[in-house]
Chain A
Amino acid sequence: MAQDDAIEARSSRKVYGTGPEAVVALDDVSIAIRKGEFFTLLGPSGCGKTTLLRMIAGFETPTAGQILLNGRDITDAPPNLRPVNTVFQSYALFPHLSVRRNVGFGLQMLGRPASEIDQKVERALAMVRLGEMADRKPTQLSGGQQQRVALARALAPSPEVLLLDEPLSALDLKLRKEMQSELKRLQHELGITFIFVTHDQEEALTMSDRIGVMSAGRLLQVGSPREIYNHPVNRFVADFIGETNFLPAEVSGGVATIAGGIAIPVDAGSPEGAHTIAIRPEHVRILPQDAGAAMRGTIAETTYFGTDSHVRLRLDGGADLVARYQSDTAGGEAPPTGAEVGVSFTPGAVQVLED
């Protein structure tokens, strides 16, 4: 393994139950998470992302494979012997302890002297801006404040890796946005490796250095948000991250031919044969009918979303597409239903998918 990997999972596998009822939660997942990076495990519920996180925390033992921390095998180490802390989805704050004692719990269990505990708790609370709440009980705090306490509690013992299990899912939209930037700021300041689990693709795109997309116990793609968004490896990733139009096509010699014989130029290195091509709605341009566009179509429906409108249209060849129409572009309002328009794709935006 590379020197700068904080966590590495080697062909980790988790099977619940035995015999015909066995459920494979994690199917030979190998992944290396670098020191100091903000890594997100993204996928729908039941995809195995939480199982992987719990394996790193030590709550689950892999059926097969290994978990390494800084190159050291920790597969069989119990959670209390791993310098890894978790921010739980339910926060799991200790209701009988004050905020201060909650945050100091880890250090106390490590047997640190009282003076050090006080100082680190103070610092952790200041970090999440909850200094004045130190003597309250968790039940006296709002959801957002409890979230911060959970964060401070996990950070106070200075773990090498911080695990976050959908920590923002219980917050309302505004608070969630606030916590997103707060988490990002903390991660920058502390330089700790963050492993963040979410099913929210937007959250993953805005916060992460790298994303691992998971589905049905498998790791499908690992890459920067940009790579994942612009070059999804397969239909699942393209569909899960953002909106995408999928069109069946015959690919040959850098040209994809879709229904109605419309030829679309694609990457020269694209796989040949019958494949699905993907195009993001924002890369579909709607032009006036007489603008000389390569394709023509009819507007089927327009949905107004504030900053833009989603336009469903049917190409003359019979293929259905969704386009995003910026409200403030020169054209003003999106064309009305039934209007005949010209259609073009942003060059290089069309992806040929492997499967």
Chain B
Amino acid sequence: MSAREDGQARRDARNTWLLSAPALFILTFAAAGPLLIMLVYSFLTPGDYGNVVWKFSTDAWVGTVLSKDIFDGTYSLADAHLTIFWRSVKLSLITTFFTFIVGFPTAWIIATRSPRMRTALLFLITIPFWTNLLIRTFAINQIIRNEGLLNTFLLYLGVIDEPLLIIYSDFAVFLGMTYVYLPLMVLPLFAAIDRFDMRLIEAAYDLYASRWQVLRRVILPIVRPGIVAGSILVFIPALGAYVTPRILGGGRNMMIGNFIELQFGQGRNWPLGAALSVLLLVIVAVALVFYVRITSRESSNG
């Protein structure tokens, strides 16, 4: 390598660092920093009126899954916490599954339209992003509440005699999250299906595959990266959802997000809130590693 090429390479390397510096700065201080603070706080003692006392304690971490009896000091499983964790995981999984069931045909239809039609449909998919999440969730609330649009309409038609009790239930939370996160499933699926070579369908069909086999043996395995991306994009925010369960689930149907908020607010237990947050992060990370490993194994033994 000549001296000039060497200098050029060094300049390129320096420019690369310079260009990525702002991003690195933001990532370090805005993402890693708060995480570190949370981790530290989770090992401290709660103050009387919120905040923390700088005294080491593992109480918060024990408290995530166990509860201490105030009278005899014995530990038992914290049923309330576990119920909330379980509800969060369950609702997030169901939401991910249903956004896929609804999103796959939607993405397929968009990807197989003419270019003009496709642009228009994709535009429609992005419209919900224009409106604030809070307002959209309140809109859903207006539709499904006891005196809401849906019930009024059904009562008027005479289909039902009493309003359907949808609002403030797990089902309402699921409904709201499916609506909110659907675009996050549709867009990566669309990107994957758009790259899919439709001629492969004819090839499989020609080689004696039934319609179901074409879907299962050819289409789904090939668009799998889109399914993985969409599932991750829906599952992670669903697991940490705050606004939707707050507005549609009422006080009783809390998810982890609400529970964490509670610790920093009325609960006045910042270390527990911090420990729960870190735990949520760990659950997501473990679930991700697990999921990616499974899906990549399935595609490599094909």
Taking the complex as formed, is B222 at the interface, i.e. its CB lies under 8 A from any CB of chain A? yes
Q: Which residues of B lie under 8 Å from residue A96 when comparing CB positions?
A: 221-222, 299, 302
Interface string of A53-91 (1 = CB under 8 A from B): 000011100000000000000000011110011101010
Q: Write the chain B residue with the least CB distance to A111.
A: B208
Partner of A85, one of B199, B206, B209, B213: B206
Which DSSP category, helix, strand, loop or mixed, fits chain B's interface?
helix
Partner of B197, one of A58, A92, A106, A157: A92
Partner of A80, one of B209, B222, B302: B209
Interface of chain A residues 129 through 184 with chain B (CB within 8 A): 153-154, 157
Taking the complex as formed, is A259 at the interface, i.e. its CB lies under 8 A from any CB of chain B? no
Q: Is the CB of A57 within 8 A of B206?
A: yes
Interface of chain A residues 310 through 354 with chain B (CB within 8 A): none
Instruction: Give the interface segment out of A97-105, A226-234, A242-250, A274-282.
Output: A97-105
Taking the complex as formed, is B203 at the interface, i.e. its CB lies under 8 A from any CB of chain A? yes
Taking the complex as formed, is A253 at the interface, i.e. its CB lies under 8 A from any CB of chain B? no
Q: Write the chain B residue with the least CB distance to A106.
A: B207
Q: CA A80 – CA B210 in complex, angstroms?
A: 7
Q: Is the CB of B208 within 8 A of A106?
A: yes
Taking the complex as formed, is B54 at the interface, i.e. its CB lies under 8 A from any CB of chain A? no
Q: Which residues of A lie under 8 Å from residue B191 when comparing CB positions?
A: none
Partner of A95, one of B208, B210, B222: B222
Interface size class of A (residues with CB under 8 A): 20 to 34
Q: Is the CB of A88 within 8 A of B202?
A: yes
- B228 vs chain A, min Cβ distance (A): 14
Q: CA A96 – CA B217 in complex, angstroms?
A: 10
Q: Which residues of A lie under 8 Å from residue B206 when comparing CB positions?
A: 57-59, 79-80, 84-86, 154
Q: Is the CB of A94 within 8 A of B203?
A: yes
- A328 vs chain B, min Cβ distance (A): 47
A98-B302 CB under 8 A given contacts A80-B210, A106-B207, A109-B208? yes
- A225 vs chain B, min Cβ distance (A): 28
Q: Is the CB of B199 within 8 A of A92?
A: yes
Q: Which residues of B lie under 8 Å from residue A92 when comparing CB positions?
A: 197, 199-200, 202-203
Q: Write the chain B residue with the least CB distance to A82.
A: B206
Q: CA A88 – CA B199 in complex, angstroms?
A: 9
Partner of A157, one of B199, B205, B208: B208
Q: Write the chain A residue with the least CB distance to B220.
A: A96
Q: Write the chain A residue with the least CB distance to B221.
A: A96
Q: CA A184 – CA B12 in complex, angstroms?
A: 56
- A95 vs chain B, min Cβ distance (A): 7
Q: CA A59 – CA B204 in complex, angstroms?
A: 12
- B225 vs chain A, min Cβ distance (A): 11
Q: Is the CB of B202 within 8 A of A105?
A: no
Taking the complex as formed, is A1 at the interface, i.e. its CB lies under 8 A from any CB of chain B? no
Taking the complex as formed, is B35 at the interface, i.e. its CB lies under 8 A from any CB of chain A? no
Taking the complex as formed, is B218 at the interface, i.e. its CB lies under 8 A from any CB of chain A? yes
Q: Write the chain B residue with the least CB distance to A59.
A: B202
Taking the complex as formed, is A110 at the interface, i.e. its CB lies under 8 A from any CB of chain B? yes
Partner of A105, one of B199, B207, B210, B221: B207
A110-B208 CB under 8 A given contacts A96-B302, A101-B302? yes
Interface of chain B residues 174 through 205 with chain A (CB within 8 A): 197, 199-200, 202-205
Q: CA A106 – CA B204 in complex, angstroms?
A: 8
Q: Is the CB of A94 within 8 A of B200?
A: yes
Q: Is the CB of B302 within 8 A of A105?
A: no
Which residue, B202, B208, B213, B217, has most C-beta atoms of chain A within 10 A?
B208
Q: Is the CB of A88 within 8 A of B209?
A: no
Q: Is the CB of A94 within 8 A of B204?
A: yes
Interface string of A265-281 (1 = CB under 8 A from B): 00000000000000000
Q: CA A151 – CA B167 in complex, angstroms?
A: 59
Q: Write the chain B residue with the least CB distance to A89.
A: B199
Q: Write the chain A residue with the least CB distance to B198.
A: A92
- B270 vs chain A, min Cβ distance (A): 49
Would you list 8 pairs from A and B whose C-beta atoms are within 8 A, ordered by A residue?
A: A59-B205, A79-B205, A80-B208, A88-B199, A88-B202, A92-B203, A94-B203, A95-B197
Q: 16 new A-B pairs (CB below 8 Å) besides A88-B202, A96-B221, A101-B302?
A: A57-B206, A59-B205, A79-B202, A80-B209, A81-B208, A85-B207, A92-B200, A94-B203, A95-B197, A95-B222, A96-B222, A96-B299, A97-B302, A105-B204, A106-B208, A109-B209
- A-B pairs, top 9 by smallest CB distance, nearest first, are A106-B207, A92-B203, A109-B208, A109-B209, A92-B199, A79-B205, A80-B208, A96-B221, A96-B302
